[in-house]
Amino acid sequence: MIPIIRPTLREISEVVNRKSDVPKVEGLHPETAWRCLSHVREALAAGVLFGIAQGVRSAAQQAVEYAKGRDAQGAVVDRRKVVTWARPGYSFHQYGLAYDVVLLRPHADAGAPYEVEWNPFADLDKDGVRDYLEIGLAGERVGLEWGGRWVGKYDGPHFEFTPNLPIEVAVGRFPGFKVPDDYFERAA
């Protein structure tokens, strides 16, 4: 297997739209980081700017995200507040294989070049296609799985590169990747 080389800070800085995105991309697995940079370029070619909202999460961060919209036992009490469907240990964010994006709107103030646009129906480039859809399609064109295609657990800002391999193959391909304890029971 040919080793994948991590993009340099300079290479990342030349592609991302915000300085704050550099460490988020740098923390990703090298293969995912390269696809993330290709994703940014592909979306830009379509006239859409996005930033990286989240990259790698620790188990503690994943627990905080998982708790949103849920009671103490983990049952969903407010679906509108649910941020993730993955419990700690089950999120590809924890292994550097996933990231979340946010649409960026050019800001009139030169001191703050972009502001976040959360409206899922926004069409800032005025081409008749929702910008979040354009971001999703751009991600798929570079080989990422887009959470906007998930039925029942829609996650429009989420992208991952796993790359649809059985988990036992992914373990060998992605050093540090941990198989969740009950994966094989869940997969059966």
Q: pLDDT category, 186, cuts 50, 70, 90?
A: very low
Dihedral in degrees, nearest 10, Cα atoms 138, 142, 148, 150: 160
* DSSP summary character for residue 155: -
Structure confidence by residue, pLDDT tens digits, 137-161: 999 999 999 999 988 888 899 999 8
Average pLDDT of the chain to the nearest whole number: 85
Helix and strand numbers (H, E) in the chain are 7, 5
How far apart are alpha carbons 82 and 80 in whole angstroms? Answer: 6
Judge whether residue 114 has pLDDT over 90.
no
How far apart are alpha carbons 12 and 178 in whole angstroms? Answer: 27
Pick the closest to residue 95 from 9, 170, 12 (CA basis): 170
Domains and their CATH numbers in the chain:
9-56+96-177 (3.30.1380.10)
Percent of the chain whose pLDDT exceeds 70:
83
